Structure 1
Amino acid sequence: MSFGTCTRERELADALRAGHWPHAAAQELRAHVTACNACSQRVLLAQAFRRERAMASSEPRLESPGVLWWRAQLRRRNAAIQRISRPLLGAQVFAVAVALVAAVAFLISQVRNSAGWFAWIADAPRALHLEALVPESLQNATGAALLVGCLLAVVAIAGGFAAFASSDKH
């Protein structure tokens, strides 16, 4: 493709630059472009570039690099916080479970051994007349231990709910 070989090339370039091609161009210039290989190639290239420019300008603009960097840093920080908090949550759940099991085991052993300083727990259902709420089959020492264990479970669940409600992730 060699430009500069045609005498009407400058006139064609001006018409293309001004946006007059092909509708506002003179009839003899249009006839010349059909006959001249160099001018027809220039028109073809100009139309291809104009079409590509129109397509590129219709595409959405990207955000500034600063905004993209800030969002990437925010995502990275949030992912790191989430990655760190997973094991902590698992450790907290494990610690609560171990504490509950230890508390229930301790209470059961104290009720079975009927230690004098801890004997009031075994007598608590009778002193509070809770035996009306407990079936007769559970009104012995095992039933009292079961009742105390259930009460401790309710307290532990309420404590877990209170801890969840006071956290900032809800």
Structure 2
Amino acid sequence: MQNLPSSSRWATWFNGSTVVRLLEMVQDVIVISLCIGLFSFMVMQLREMFLSLLPPLNFPEVTSDILFLLILVELFRLLIIYLQEHRVSIGVAVEVSIVSVLREIIVRGVLETPWIQVLACCLFLVVLGGLLVVRAWIPPTFDGVDPEQEISRRHRIRFAQDLAEMGAVKSSID
């Protein structure tokens, strides 16, 4: 590598796999720090919830805290899935959205909420439920084959063939 001209060294360092691995590592560090921060916030919220259980008991506040903790747990699970699979789970994201909307409706109270907001929430929940149904029908993988990885593999093969053809044409000209 020391005998290579400086432009070749830069080209070697900036090839796709090196840069992608470096960026994925930085992204993983960011997600891990988010997990640590979210976990710390969950512990503080759990402490707050237990303190709200002391008399006098405020039932709406306790219900709100429990639902908020469930949302935080689902967000934590979303981050863990991302760390394991390097993808955002659509199902978990939709579930978090559903629980968040339901929490707001329960905390505010359906009777105190304007009817147009209740209607909007209902439509939003129907759309999210439809996403969950559609997500269940579409398999994420086909017998262990990730469709995105398969397409990426085809493009790499095609690119390698194009490079080989260009090399053959260049060598025939020389």
TM exceeding 0.5 = no
TM-score (norm. length: structure 2): 0.31
TM-score (norm. length: structure 1): 0.32
Structure number, greater radius of gyration: 1
